[in-house]
A and B are shown apart, each in its own frame.
Chain A
Amino acid sequence: MSVELSTSGKVLRATSVSAGYDGRAIVHEIDVEATPGKVVSVVGPNGSGKSTLLKSLVGVVPVLAGTVTVGDTEITNLAPERIAMLGVGYVPQIDDVFPPLSVKENLEIGGYLLPRHDVASQIEAVLEFFPRLRTMMSRKAGKLSGGERKMLAMGRVLMLSPSVLVLDEPTANLAPLVATQLLEEYIRGFADHGSTVLLVEQRAKAALRISDWTCVLSGGRVVLSGAPRDLENNPLFVESFLGGGAARA
């Protein structure tokens, strides 16, 4: 992988974060820390507040209490564009590309903060990482398949060589094989290249396979956290996520 990914990831830290809409907290007093070269995953049932947590870290949902920092910089409640400028790349679960724009234009928008003369070379770097996108550069993003679209969403974020990648259910609605490739090849690859990766994932087993640390969210609170190996031996976790109906490989 020769893409110019940042090899100087920064620590993303949420300390006692409560966040929600209209002054009403959906997630409560969350502590999460993601470090360079590691994948930290957040798993939990639907409605547990996983996406709200991620959105609060990237400025989309207001933080009502607590602090969020990237490296030494506090980013609590900064505007999303300021957080992007500080090297945090965010891929939402849905609406993750600009459908009316072509693949090339989506990547160009991803590199909006780059100096103009660096955009073409960075697109080339992203295409080396996601070679399938090369054949569809003029196609509108709205016409792509789910897997292609997710690759484009990731590619768009990689345009800025972010220090921190925040990914909200990147495998949602993807075929199992594509989902596995995305998680094991690409997302794990980002961390192996030095980036900090914070991932929300419904497929608990698959998330554990690529994670260095996992938090379990339920009812808006962290109910368990630990290394994947420890969680796999935790009867409560196994019952809730690996053995029960909620589990998805």
Chain B
Amino acid sequence: MSELHDEVSELERQSATAARLFDIRRIIGGLFTLYGVIVTVAGLTASDADLRKAQGVNINLWTGLGMLALGVFFLAWLALRPAAAEPDGRPDGQDDGRGGTAG
């Protein structure tokens, strides 16, 4: 019990994830904003055949706008509540493991 406990605690002290792992909100926000723009444009230029296939709904437009909204939401969340431990420019180690992000 205590042997395992000590070993893992020591590994936790040396761990670099909290200090150096980037914030996934940046990736979700970026990709969904990009996807949103692409799919929205596909919706704006939809052909009659596209509309007929999708039961008369401009599904590309609505999906694109939805994805755009999600992407912007994540980017805004990131901007308003940045992670406590910045992934950039932190020297190795010496992070006390506080590395919490919002949420």
Are A and B a genuine interacting pair, yes or no?
Answer: no
Q: Which residues of B are interface residues toward A (Cβ below 8 A)?
A: none
